[in-house]
Structure 1
Amino acid sequence: MDFEKVLFQRRSIRSYEDGEVDKSSVDEMIKAAKSAPSANNRQPWHFVVIRSDEIMEKIMKIHPHSYMLEDAQLAISVCGDRKKGDTYWVQDCSAATQNLLLMAENLGLGAVWLGVYPRRERIEGIADLLNLPDHIVPLNVISIGYPARESGEVDRFDEKKVHYEEW
């Protein structure tokens, strides 16, 4: 893995080509996600892997900006367990999501983070659809597939947003 390439070329990919994402790639993405740091090492994350076109169609009715699921090979919902980290589950699951996105890029896949939390209607809709227990909260749905276009490096460094010692 060329870490710099993966880190600086990762982009939100919303259009996909045909091709099945194999189970070993899914396992690698989840393994990377589970390697994220978490407060007090509570690891409050759970992952729901979705391959069903029917379920992805239903997500598109719940989430108004999820049109890319129509062509996605799969989706993964990163969820937080409030029993394991009611205070920091959002940060912990966000770190896991970033790791997952970086591994997707490393595997030659394209992905985009579709925010669910904190939108109540999205949380309730996705939780009901995926039959989540009450203490499990969906943070997002990640659309994943083989990218229909190449993405290149974009330099987003802005020195005006860097402060030393104080503002």
Structure 2
Amino acid sequence: MSTALTALIAALVTGLFGLTDSSKSDEGPKPSPSGSTQPAQPSPQESRPPIECEGERVNLEAPTDVGPTYDLIVTASCPPVSGEKYYLIAALADVGRPGTEHPLYCRAGRLDGKVGTQAYEQDLHKATVGSARTVYVLSVNAQEERELISNTTEGKCTMQLPDNADKVSGSIRVKRGW
């Protein structure tokens, strides 16, 4: 093969494989023309939009069958909206004597609002074996928090939640099994 042909093939191969984005290398910061080191700027295709904090901002995990205490694992992907707080709600269905059954919504705790995963111990010592509750998170403003706290009928429970409170998690069902 002639030297010219070899050089042409080498140039083509280098040209084809030299099209990779050098900003993705693991070499670290590159020196600027002035000699100072600056972090490499992400290319436009590497930029990610901010996390959207709409809909489910909190994820809940717990066993479905529990004893007198259990850990509820709470993962918040977004903090509460400014001026709001997160509350754990345990909803019980058909509470009361026959013919007077109604739902009951109990405050199971206030979350600290930090992004991340935390375990919250839940105490069901007073719950009867076989009883179940649906647990979820509400985001409430100051007025809704006052309603949630002042409208209590049985300890930390109320028969009606604030109308405009925002449910920010999915629901999980937990049953006291023993």
TM-score (structure 1 length as normaliser): 0.25
Q: In proportion to residue count, which structure has more strand? A: 2
Structure with bigger RCO (C-alpha 8 Å, 6+ apart): 1
TM-score (structure 2 length as normaliser): 0.23
Q: In proportion to residue count, which structure has more helix? A: 1
